[in-house]
């Protein structure tokens, strides 16, 4: 685009102003406040749209005096002349009208939009507008930064993208840095190493298993070997043990071998000993026998002579036996005696009883028995007395009786009730059949009895009263007199019978008792008599035994029975003694005979006994025993030796006699030691085998390895997820980079070559090249390169200009908009400014340059200049 | 004839991609036991089915890394088969390559190991049929030579010929360091069946299903999804048929969940509702991929990018894993949301994207972590690179949201 003309309707100070731009490098000169900034802003506003109050940092340039806001720009693009009109509209950017300036036909607004895009005000400011240079400090930039700055220019939203890229790079760096220690992935990789180490340690399991297996096999082999050895040793040891057991036998055998069979003498066999024994015993027996017999004979003889008692008995035998015959009869007498004694006692008791039952009279004496006649009178007299007494009282009571005669004697029902109750109770006892039935029976009986009794009494009382009435009718004598007569008769009886103080009613009773008493007394006397007779008999009998009171000590306290007993016993013992004595005599004879025999046998036995001894050259038993024991021992030894020998041969020990016992003993010990050692070895090896087996078992069961492997796999997965993220972030960063690069379309090289060219121009070939490595360097014509900080300020400025212009020009090949410079070289010195203008000239060959300045340079030609 | 073809047991090798630990100990145990459980299930089946023999085509464990547990376990399981007189034929692969003699392995009598040079082992079945099995074991980690060329052609005197090979087919994308072969190499031998190992994804190389990779017996990371187990091969007259049987106790699975919510907590609820409806039979380790229909709120994007949503979902799924049989190990999202720039910027970014998101550009980063093989592998894997590129775009997007530099179209 080449701007030809500006038509300002109203913008800031400028109203209704037209400005023609004729030269590719158009220098617009105006003093300060002349409106340079206004025109610059006008151009931007018309091209890109009006700004809102907020957007317009330098103000909206609203014209004064209500002049119409906006204006026109005439420009040429690709050979066609256009006219763009922008005025204030409803929206902030304003309304545009787009015309083909040649034909003056209106063109659709889109055409303009298409034409101007993608450049907007912002982009334009970035790329095509130059304010004060001095604050554009690009010298310190590294190539990357320069590139970035270029990229920034190339993409309008580039800053945002660079921010995003920075964010992404930061995220990436948080995950991983080349030699970092803190980022996550670095840490995870480190733990991976540790985990791998753990796994490989655990892995050693397998070779360890193989090693252990090997050890196990070895140990088992060793064990087997040892067991073989052991059984051999065991056999040997058992043999030694046997030998050890046999040792005493061997020793004994050795000792016994000294004893000779020749020492055995005949006649000392067991049978001989038994014989001797027998003979001794026989002899002893016979000796004893004869001695015993002799003793017995002597004893018996002795006893016979010294029995005084027996002698006495024998002297008085006849008498004694006669008396003894009487004994049974005496026993009978004794019985009688006892009987009568008892009887006496009983009768006495009766007498006492009866006597006690008789009341005593006033003198405390027993009454006497009356005659029968008197006795019978008593009753009669007493009755009469009573009668008379009643009569007397009755007369006095007659009055009373008559008044009371009307009273009916009520029927007395009580007996009936009682009887019926009794019957009832009787019946109940049977019906209930209870355990207390007998109570009911008894109760029944009682009740019935009571009832009956009551009933009977009625008639008696009735008859009594009848009798009284009868008597009252018949005897009408003077009762008082009769009574006195009776009384006198009674008194007489009383006197006779010594009955004073005893009520007459009792007299009959007393009489009967007295009679009994008399009877009893008689009985007593009888008994006594009999008793005495018996006693006499007994005493006489006893007396007859007096002659034997040395042997029959009756003492003073003995009863008759006891005495009889004594007699009986003594007599039987006498009899016994007698018979014994007789027997003894018989025995003595027999004994004497036996004694003779015994003596003969004894002598015989003695002879045999002695013969036995002498035939063996011995004198006594002791010698025989000694000799016999000797012989026995010898024989025993010989037998033992024989047995031992055969035993040892059985056990496998031939010719062991006379072997060195010490040697044998030491051999046995040696074998035992070996055996024990072997035993221990086996125990050790067995232990070892089981230990190894346990270890192997542990290894096999150990799940740690699997777990660790899974952990390792998990760790690797985790790392891969970070790697994935890191890779993605790296790629995103690159992506942004590439996008920006593409956007800059490889502008950098182009820009760089332009920069070179411009730098050459500006420095008038003092420098020939700019190097863009790590840092920007310049190469002098002689080939020497200088860092930026080594350059003079002037050169720096030249370099700077080269760079920035190269950038703009680089862009303008695509986006052909004019470059607007607002007094950029104001701080340059004259020389530099001249060079700069020269550069601008060069640039303007490619792109329109509009240069606004407040300072006029003489060197500028009039063609370029426009004065405001 | 009935036999089992399995490979790549990788006993006692850990799961990958579980980033943080902190799993409940019963889940941890299940994980540690998983490779063992799977193989034990295989042996149980072999015994139950009373198969004629078992083929194990390599990578039974990591020889360098072999744990005692895996050795003892393998011995035990082989012994179980030995008790029932079921022979086992083993070739060792690039992980369990055998350097020493095969006599010192301590395997029971029923177990036959192939040596480093291709050899043939014969077996007479109970039915009387004779089987020839051809194979070889790796004696080092990389074998670049095509050993397949040294395999004999089918032995006519045998009723059945079976080949065992641990290696990479040229049709399957893998490096050429593992006894490389082509499909025609295999077919040229005229075997009845090829029991292959090395590739963990179960697949057939031919259309008859007789040249097979049985796949590994337990998936160990999110890229080994689906059921894992063994192939049961049965004869029917003169033809063979193959069926797959699952033995792995833990299944990995990627699940695409369509979501349209904008707020984080409803999103989480929707995720769990969706997952609960699935009714997983086996314990399943899930990567959720959120398929957003429509724009997402800025707040949600941030939460997703921060990993906040992933963490919450993961922790919540962990609480109840035994009842619901799943555990969410990771959560990713795809969004069509673009970064909007001003016109001047848009095309630069689009062009720069093409220029930047290349695997070549990852080279420098790769060099940074040169010491770590696992990182090298990761940065070289195209799937993982793609993830990185997606993540790069998301980083910029989230950062623009933060700085407010995103301009909308209108």
pLDDT at B410: 34
Q: Which residues pair with B178 in a beta bridge?
A: B143
More confident residue, A738 or A257: A738
Closest by CA position to B70, among listed A211, A279, A505, A702: A702
pLDDT band at A748 (very low <50, low <70, confident <90, very high): low
Q: Is A512 on the interface with B (CB under 8 A)?
A: no
Q: Is B363 on the interface with A (CB under 8 A)?
A: no
Q: Determine the residue of chain A that is closest to B392 in CA distance.
A: A728
Closest by CA position to A305, among listed A569, A596, A584, A551: A584
Residues in chain B closer than 8 A to A707 (CB atoms): 28, 32
Residue A243 has pLDDT above 80, yes or no: no
Asked whether the beta carbons of B59 and B93 are under 8 A apart, the reply is yes
Q: How many CB atoms lie within 10 A of CB B362?
A: 19
CB contact under 8 A, A714 and B12: no
**Radius of gyration for chain B, computed over Cα atoms and rounded to the nearest angstrom:** 25
What is the SS3 assignment for A510? helix
Residue A671 has pLDDT above 90, yes or no: no
Q: What is the pLDDT of residues A542-597, one digit of tens each?
A: 888 888 888 887 777 788 888 888 888 888 888 888 888 888 788 788 888 888 98
Q: How many CB atoms lie within 10 A of CB A469?
A: 11
pLDDT at A165: 85
Q: Is B405 on the interface with A (CB under 8 A)?
A: yes
Closest by CA position to A567, among listed A549, A556, A552, A584: A552
Q: What percentage of chain A exceeds 70 in pLDDT?
A: 86
Min Cα separation A148/chain B (Å): 16
Could you tell me the fold of the domain covering B2-246?
Purple Acid Phosphatase; chain A, domain 2 (3.60.21)
pLDDT at B80: 95
Residues in chain B closer than 8 A to A703 (CB atoms): 32, 69
Q: What is the pLDDT of residues A805-858, one digit of tens each?
A: 887 787 777 778 898 988 877 767 777 777 788 888 888 888 899 998 887 766
Instruction: Tell me which H or E stretch contains A10.
Output: strand A2-11
Residues in chain A closer than 8 A to B355 (CB atoms): 738, 742
Q: Distance between CA A862 and CA B232 in Å, rounded?
A: 102
3-state helix/strand/coil string of B99-148? CCCHHHHCCCCCEEECCCCCEEEEEECCCCCEEEEEECCCCCCCECCCHH
More confident residue, A154 or A659: A659
Closest by CA position to A289, among listed A698, A716, A595: A595
pLDDT band at B284 (very low <50, low <70, confident <90, very high): very high
CA atoms within 13 A on the CB side of A661: 14
CB contact under 8 A, A724 and B378: yes
Q: Is A156 on the interface with B (CB under 8 A)?
A: yes
Q: What percentage of chain B exceeds 90 in pLDDT?
A: 43
pLDDT at A774: 58
Q: Is B343 on the interface with A (CB under 8 A)?
A: yes
Which one of 3.40.50.300, 1.10.3720.10, 3.40.50.2000, 3.40.309.10 gives the CATH number of domain A1-128+817-868?
A: 3.40.50.300
Q: Which residues pair with B236 in a beta bridge?
A: B239
Q: Distance between CA A689 and CA A220 in Å, rounded?
A: 7
Angle (deg, nearest 10), helices A143-154 and A704-744: 70
Q: Is B160 on the interface with A (CB under 8 A)?
A: no
Average pLDDT score over residue span A283-296: 86
Min Cα separation B129/chain A (Å): 40
Q: Is B386 on the interface with A (CB under 8 A)?
A: no
Residue A38 has pLDDT above 60, yes or no: yes
- What is the average pLDDT score of chain A? 81
Q: Distance between CA A543 and CA A563 in Å, rounded?
A: 11
Min Cα separation B351/chain A (Å): 7
Residue A299 contacts by C-beta under 8 Å, 6 or more apart in sequence? none
pLDDT band at B68 (very low <50, low <70, confident <90, very high): confident
Handedness of CA A382, A383, A388, A390 (dihedral sign): positive
Kindly give the pairing relationship between strand A70-77 and strand A2-11.
Answer: antiparallel
Q: Got the DSSP string for A677-736?
A: HHHHHHHHHHHHHHHHHHHHHHHHH-THHHHHHHHHHHHHHHHHHHHHHHHHHHHHHHHH
pLDDT at B405: 44
pLDDT at A150: 59
**How do the domains of chain A map onto residue ranges?**
1-128+817-868
CB contact under 8 A, A709 and B375: no
Residue A793 has pLDDT above 90, yes or no: no
Min Cα separation B26/chain A (Å): 13
Specify burial of residue A454 (Cβ count, 10 A radius: 0-12, 13-18, 19+). middle
Length of chain A: 868
Residues in chain A closer than 8 A to B19 (CB atoms): 714, 717-718, 721
Min Cα separation A701/chain B (Å): 7
More confident residue, B370 or A462: B370
Residue B96 has pLDDT above 80, yes or no: yes
Which A residues in the span 528-567 are in contact with B, Cβ-Cβ below 8 Å? none
Q: Token pair for residue A149?
A: 């700055």
Residue B296: what are its φ and ψ, rounded to 5°?
-105, 150
Per-residue CA distances from B104 to A591, B71, B75, B107 (Å):
115, 13, 13, 8
* Residue in the structure block whose two tokens are 């420009």: A75
Kindly give the pairing relationship between strand B193-197 and strand B211-213.
Answer: parallel
Q: What is the pLDDT of residues A212-228, one digit of tens each?
A: 888 888 888 888 888 88
Instruction: Tell me which H or E stretch contains B244.
Output: strand B239-246
pLDDT at B229: 96
CB contact under 8 A, A739 and B351: yes
CB contact under 8 A, A714 and B71: no
pLDDT band at A479 (very low <50, low <70, confident <90, very high): low
Q: What is the pLDDT of residues A620-646, one digit of tens each?
A: 888 888 888 888 888 887 888 788 778
pLDDT at A386: 81
pLDDT at B408: 39
Q: Is B125 on the interface with A (CB under 8 A)?
A: no
Q: Is B402 on the interface with A (CB under 8 A)?
A: yes
Q: For residue B262, is the peptide bond before it cis, meaning its omega torsion is within 30 degrees of 0?
A: no
CB contact under 8 A, B342 and A156: yes
Residue A109 has pLDDT above 80, yes or no: yes
Q: Is B306 on the interface with A (CB under 8 A)?
A: no
Q: What is the pLDDT of residues B201-244, one digit of tens each?
A: 999 999 989 999 999 999 998 989 999 999 999 999 889 999 99
Q: What is the pLDDT of residues B180-206, one digit of tens each?
A: 888 999 999 999 999 999 999 999 999
Q: Is A166 on the interface with B (CB under 8 A)?
A: no
Residue A4 has pLDDT above 90, yes or no: yes
pLDDT at A135: 44
Residue A779 has pLDDT above 70, yes or no: yes
- What is the average pLDDT score of chain B? 86
pLDDT band at B409 (very low <50, low <70, confident <90, very high): very low
Q: Determine the residue of chain A that is closest to B373 in CA distance.
A: A716
Q: Is B20 on the interface with A (CB under 8 A)?
A: yes
* Residue in the structure block whose two tokens are 């109840």: B320
pLDDT at B406: 42
pLDDT at A760: 86
Q: What is the pLDDT of residues A164-179, one digit of tens each?
A: 888 888 888 888 888 7
3-state helix/strand/coil string of A438-489? HHHHHHHHHHHHHHHHHHHHHHHHHHHHHHHHHHHHHCCCCHHHHHHHHHHH
> What are the residue ranges of CATH 3.60.21.10 in chain B?
2-246
pLDDT at A2: 92
Q: What is the pLDDT of residues B107-143, one digit of tens each?
A: 899 999 999 999 999 999 999 999 999 999 998 888 8
Q: Token pair for residue B228?
A: 């894992």
Q: Distance between CA A349 and CA A346 in Å, rounded?
A: 5
Q: Is B352 on the interface with A (CB under 8 A)?
A: yes
Q: What is the pLDDT of residues A716-737, one digit of tens each?
A: 888 988 898 899 998 988 888 8
CB contact under 8 A, B15 and A705: no
Q: What is the pLDDT of residues A372-419, one digit of tens each?
A: 887 778 778 888 888 888 888 877 777 566 555 544 444 556 667 777
pLDDT band at A445 (very low <50, low <70, confident <90, very high): confident
Asked whether the beta carbons of B257 and B317 are under 8 A apart, the reply is no
Min Cα separation B238/chain A (Å): 45
ipTM: 0.81
Q: Distance between CA A770 and CA A759 in Å, rounded?
A: 8
pLDDT at A71: 94
Residues in chain B closer than 8 A to A737 (CB atoms): 352
CB contact under 8 A, A160 and B405: yes
pLDDT at A474: 47
Residue A149 has pLDDT above 70, yes or no: no
pLDDT at B245: 96
pLDDT at A460: 47
Report long-range pairs for A534-538 (Cβ below 8 Å, ≥24 apart): A534/A333, A534/A334, A534/A336, A534/A337, A534/A340, A535/A337, A537/A330, A537/A333, A538/A330, A538/A333, A538/A334, A538/A337
Which A residues in the span 707-736 are in contact with B, Cβ-Cβ below 8 Å? 707, 709-714, 716-721, 723-732, 734-736
Report the helix count and the strand count for chain A, using DSSP H and E: 21, 14
Closest by CA position to B295, among listed B401, B155, B378, B147: B401
Residue A430 has pLDDT above 50, yes or no: yes
Q: What is the pLDDT of residues A333-345, one digit of tens each?
A: 889 889 999 998 9
Q: What is the pLDDT of residues A197-217, one digit of tens each?
A: 888 777 666 677 778 888 888
Residue A787 has pLDDT above 60, yes or no: yes
């Amino acid at each position: 685009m080449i701007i030809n003309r500006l038509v300002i309707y109203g913008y800031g100070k400028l109203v209704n102003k037209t400005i023609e731009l004729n030269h590719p490098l158009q220098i617009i000169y105006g003093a300060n406040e002349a409106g340079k900034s206004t025109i610059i802003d006008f151009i931007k506003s018309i091209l890109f749209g009006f700004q809102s109050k907020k957007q317009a940092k330098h103000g909206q340039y609203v014209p004064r005096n209500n002049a119409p806001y906006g204006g026109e720009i005439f420009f040429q693009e690709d050979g066609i002349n256009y006219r763009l009109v922008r005025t204030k509209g409803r929206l902030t950017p304003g309304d545009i009208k787009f015309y083909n300036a040649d034909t003056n036909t209106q063109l659709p607004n889109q055409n303009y939009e298409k034409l101007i895009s993608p450049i907007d005000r912002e982009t334009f400011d970035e790329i095509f507008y130059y304010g004060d240079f001095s604050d554009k400090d690009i010298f310190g930039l590294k190539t990357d930064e320069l590139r970035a700055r270029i990229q920034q220019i190339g993409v309008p939203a580039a800053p945002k993208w660079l921010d995003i890229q920075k964010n992404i790079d930061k995220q990436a760096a948080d995950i991983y840095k080349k030699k970092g220690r803190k980022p996550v992935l670095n840490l995870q990789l480190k733990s991976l190493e540790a985990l791998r180490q753990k796994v490989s340690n655990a892995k050693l399991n397998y070779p360890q298993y193989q090693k252990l297996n090997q050890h196990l096999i070895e140990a088992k082999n060793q064990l087997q070997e040892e067991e073989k050895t052991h059984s051999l040793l065991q056999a040997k040891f058992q043999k030694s043990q046997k030998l050890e057991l046999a040792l005493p036998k061997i020793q004994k055998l050795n000792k016994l071998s000294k004893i000779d069979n020749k020492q055995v003498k005949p006649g000392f066999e067991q049978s001989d000993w038994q014989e001797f024994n027998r003979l001794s015993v026989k002899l002893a027996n016979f000796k004893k026998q004869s001695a015993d017999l002799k003793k017995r004979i002597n004893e018996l003889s002795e006893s016979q002579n010294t029995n005084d008692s027996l002698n006495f008995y024998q002297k008085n035998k006849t008498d004694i036996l006669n008396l003894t015959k009487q004994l049974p009869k005496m026993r009978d007498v004794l019985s009688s005696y006892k009987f009568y004694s008892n009887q006496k006692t009983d009768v006495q008791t009766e007498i006492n009883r009866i006597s006690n039952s008789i009341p005593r009279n006033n003198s405390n004496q027993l009454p006497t028995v009356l005659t029968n006649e008197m006795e019978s009178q008593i009753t009669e007299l007493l009755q009469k007395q009573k009668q008379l007494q009643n009569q007397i009282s009755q007369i006095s009571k007659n009055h009373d009786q008559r008044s009371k005669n009307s009273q009916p004697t009520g029927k007395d029902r009580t007996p009936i009730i009682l009887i019926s109750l009794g019957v009832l109770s009787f019946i109940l006892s049977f019906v209930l059949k209870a355990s207390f039935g007998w109570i009911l029976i008894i109760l029944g009986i009682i009740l019935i009895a009571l009832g009956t009794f009551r009933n009977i009494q009625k008639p008696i009382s009735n008859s009594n009263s009848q009798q009284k009435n009868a008597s009252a009718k018949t005897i009408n004598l003077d009762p008082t007199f009769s009574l006195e007569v009776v009384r006198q008769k009674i008194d007489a009886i009383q006197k006779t019978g010594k009955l004073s103080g005893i009520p007459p009613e009792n007299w009959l009773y007393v009489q009967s008792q007295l009679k009994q008493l008399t009877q009893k007394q008689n009985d007593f006397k009888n008994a006594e008599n009999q008793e005495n007779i018996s006693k006499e008999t007994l005493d006489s009998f006893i007396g007859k035994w007096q002659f034997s009171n040395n042997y029959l000590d009756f003492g003073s306290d003995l009863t008759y029975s006891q005495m009889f007993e004594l007699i009986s016993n003594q007599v039987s013992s006498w009899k016994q003694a007698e018979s014994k004595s007789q027997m003894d005599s018989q025995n003595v004879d027999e004994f004497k005979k036996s004694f003779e025999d015994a003596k003969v046998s004894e002598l015989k036995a003695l002879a045999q006994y002695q013969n036995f001894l002498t035939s063996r050259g011995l004198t006594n038993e002791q010698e025989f025993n000694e000799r016999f024991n000797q012989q026995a021992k010898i024989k025993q030894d010989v037998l033992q030796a024989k047995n031992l020998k055969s035993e040892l041969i059985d056990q496998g020990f031939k010719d062991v006699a006379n072997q060195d016992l010490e040697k044998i003993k030491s051999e046995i010990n040696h074998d035992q030691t070996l055996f024990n050692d072997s035993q221990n070895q086996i125990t050790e090896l067995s232990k070892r085998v089981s230990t190894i087996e346990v270890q192997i078992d542990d290894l096999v069961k150990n799940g740690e390895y699997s777990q660790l492997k899974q952990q390792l796999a998990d760790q690797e997965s985790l790392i891969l997820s970070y790697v994935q993220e890191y890779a993605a972030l790296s790629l995103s960063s690159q992506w942004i980079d590439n996008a920006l690069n593409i956007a800059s379309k490889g502008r950098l090289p182009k820009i760089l070559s332009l920069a070179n060219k411009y730098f050459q121009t500006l420095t008038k070939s003092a420098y020939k090249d700019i190097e863009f490595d790590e840092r920007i360097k310049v190469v002098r014509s002689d080939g020497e390169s200088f860092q930026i900080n080594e350059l003079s300020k002037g050169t720096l400025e030249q370099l700077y200009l080269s760079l920035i212009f190269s950038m703009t020009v680089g862009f303008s090949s695509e986006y052909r908009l004019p470059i607007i410079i607002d007094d950029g070289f104001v701080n340059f010195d004259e020389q530099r400014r001249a060079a700069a203008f020269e550069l601008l000239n060069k640039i303007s060959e490619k792109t329109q340059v509009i240069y606004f300045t407040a300072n006029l340079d003489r060197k500028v030609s009039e063609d370029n200049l426009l004065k405001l | 004839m009935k036999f089992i073809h399995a490979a790549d047991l990788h006993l006692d090798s850990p799961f990958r991609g579980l980033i943080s630990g902190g799993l409940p100990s019963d889940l941890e145990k299940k994980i540690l036991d998983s490779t063992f459980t799977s193989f034990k299930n295989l042996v149980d089946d072999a015994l139950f089915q009373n198969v004629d023999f078992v083929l194990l085509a390599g990578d039974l464990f990591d020889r360098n890394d072999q744990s005692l547990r895996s050795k003892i376990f393998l011995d035990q399981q082989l012994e179980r088969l030995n008790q029932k007189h079921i022979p086992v034929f083993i070739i060792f692969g690039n992980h369990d390559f055998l350097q020493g003699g095969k006599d010192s392995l301590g395997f029971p009598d029923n177990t036959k190991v192939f040596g480093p040079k291709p050899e043939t082992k014969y077996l007479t079945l109970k039915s009387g049929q004779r089987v020839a099995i051809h194979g070889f074991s790796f004696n080092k980690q990389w074998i670049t030579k095509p050993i397949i060329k040294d395999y004999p052609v089918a032995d006519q005197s045998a009723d059945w010929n079976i080949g065992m090979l641990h290696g990479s087919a040229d049709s399957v994308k893998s490096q050429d360091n593992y006894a490389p072969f082509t499909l025609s190499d295999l077919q040229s031998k005229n075997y009845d069946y090829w029991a292959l190992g090395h590739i963990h994804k179960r697949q057939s190389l031919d259309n008859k299903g007789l040249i097979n990779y049985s796949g590994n017996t337990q998936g160990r990371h999110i890229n080994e999804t689906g059921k894992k187990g063994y192939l049961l091969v049965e004869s029917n007259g003169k033809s063979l048929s193959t069926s797959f049987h699952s033995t792995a106790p833990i299944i990995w699975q990627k699940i695409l969940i369509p979501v349209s919510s904008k707020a984080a907590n409803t999103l989480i609820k929707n995720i769990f509702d969706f997952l609960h409806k699935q009714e997983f039979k086996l314990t399943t380790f899930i990567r959720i991929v959120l398929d957003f229909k429509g724009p997402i709120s800025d707040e949600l994007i941030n939460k997703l990018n921060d990993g906040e949503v992933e963490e919450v979902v993961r922790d919540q799924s962990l609480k109840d894993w035994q009842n619901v049989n799943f555990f969410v190990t990771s959560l990713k999202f795809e969004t069509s949301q673009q970064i909007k720039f001003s016109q001047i910027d848009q095309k630069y970014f689009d062009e720069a994207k093409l220029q930047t998101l290349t695997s070549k550009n990852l080279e420098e980063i790769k060099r940074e972590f040169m010491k770590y093989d696992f990182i090298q592998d990761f940065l070289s894997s195209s799937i993982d690179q793609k993830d990185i590129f997606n993540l790069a775009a998301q980083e910029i997007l989230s950062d623009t949201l933060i700085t407010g530099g995103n301009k909308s179209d209108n």
